[in-house]
Amino acid sequence: MRSLLIFIILLSFAFAKAQTYEVGIFAGTSNVVGDVGSTQYIQFNDVAIGGIFKWNRSSRHSFRASIISANMVGDDNDSDDISRDLRGLKYNYSLLEASLGIEYNFWDWELYSGRPQVVPYLYTGLIALRYSSFALNNTNELEEYDKSINIAIPIIFGVKANVTPKLILAAEIGARYTFTDNLDGSNPNGDMDVDSLKFGNVNNKDWYIFSGVTLTYTFGRKRCYCNF
């Protein structure tokens, strides 16, 4: 029992300054930038929540992975555009994204110094997303007809700070450029007569936005400085 206690104390001491990895949560809001709903780019429509992992490869960059689930809501009645308001379309569905990429720090992010730090960062990479596909039904309302998988490119800007020696708090806002125009039901595809169901600007792809905060816990051995 005494040996186990000594081992735990030594392990805790070894990890006290070890901050190579971060694991934590993301919590925020979500919205679609498309042909249904508000024309505002940044909204606070519904909840997005997920998990995040980072490998701090150097003081200037990290490899980052995340999984986020969000409720995507669009309602023409929230729009300042009178034509959308009169049309009255709306949708509500769940979206799941898995992201992998690189987070770049604008200046050195060195947690081993023990000093409080505030650092802005930029993240990009590749996203795989699963979402509901909608189309207009016989009563001219949006109705789900399938589940779809697509990809997106994130452009995320944030600011992070070490609030304790082991906890990192960050606030970020991120736009996701997708390779689909049907996050809002305006450009369906499939076996149906889709041409008669399309509306809005079918030449532009949809975007969606997550705005929120992350809280991560640092752990792992002190990194070595490598060439990449």
- CATH number of the structural domain spanning residue 190: 2.40.160.20
In a domain, 66, yes or no: yes
How large is the average pLDDT for residues 95-106? 98
Looking at the DSSP bridge assignments, the partners of residue 150 are: 129
Partnered with residue 75 across adjacent β-strands are 90
Within a domain: 162:
yes
pLDDT at 227 over 70: no
Q: How far apart are CA 79 and CA 167, in angstroms?
A: 39
Using only C-alpha atoms, the chain has a radius of gyration, in whole angstroms, of: 22
pLDDT band at 40 (very low <50, low <70, confident <90, very high): confident
Residue 84 lies in a domain: yes
Lowest pLDDT segment from 37-41, 83-87, 111-115, 136-140: 111-115
Q: Tell me the CA distances in angstroms from 205 to 12, 46, 124, 138, 178, one per residue in order.
A: 50, 21, 18, 25, 6
| pLDDT computed for residue 7 by the predictor | 41
Residue type, 1: M
* Burial per residue of 174-193, b for 16 or more beta-carbon CB atoms within 10 angstroms, e otherwise: bbbebebbbbbbbbbeeeee
Handedness of CA 35, 71, 216, 52 (dihedral sign): negative
Question: For residue 60, what are the domain limits?
Answer: 15-219
4 occurs within a structural domain: no
pLDDT in tens, 175-189: 999 999 999 998 888
Q: Domain for residue 153, yes or no?
A: yes
Q: Tens of pLDDT along 118-159?
A: 999 999 999 999 999 998 988 889 999 999 999 999 999 999
Q: Which of 219, 156, 165 minimizes the C-alpha distance to 22?
A: 219
Q: Give the total number of structural domains in the chain.
A: 1
Is the pLDDT score of 4 beyond 80? no
Residue 26 one-letter amino acid: F
- Asked whether residue 112 is assigned to any structural domain, the reply reads yes
Mean pLDDT of all residues belonging to the chain: 86
- Percentage of the chain lying above the pLDDT 70 cut: 86
Q: Which residues of 80-98 are buried (b: 16+ CB within 10 A; e: fewer)?
A: eeeebeebebbbebebebe
Q: Is residue 215 part of a domain?
A: yes
In a domain, 227, yes or no: no
pLDDT band, very low/low/confident/very high, at 17 (cuts 50, 70, 90): very low
Identify the CA nearest to 122 among candidates 168, 170, 163.
170
CA angle (65, 71, 72) in 5-degree steps: 105
Report the range of poorest mean pLDDT among 5-14, 23-32, 35-44, 129-138. 5-14
Instruction: Please tell me the pTM assigned to this model.
Output: 0.84
Residue 11, phi then psi, degrees to nearest 5: -65, -40
Residue 194 pLDDT class (50, 70, 90 cuts): low
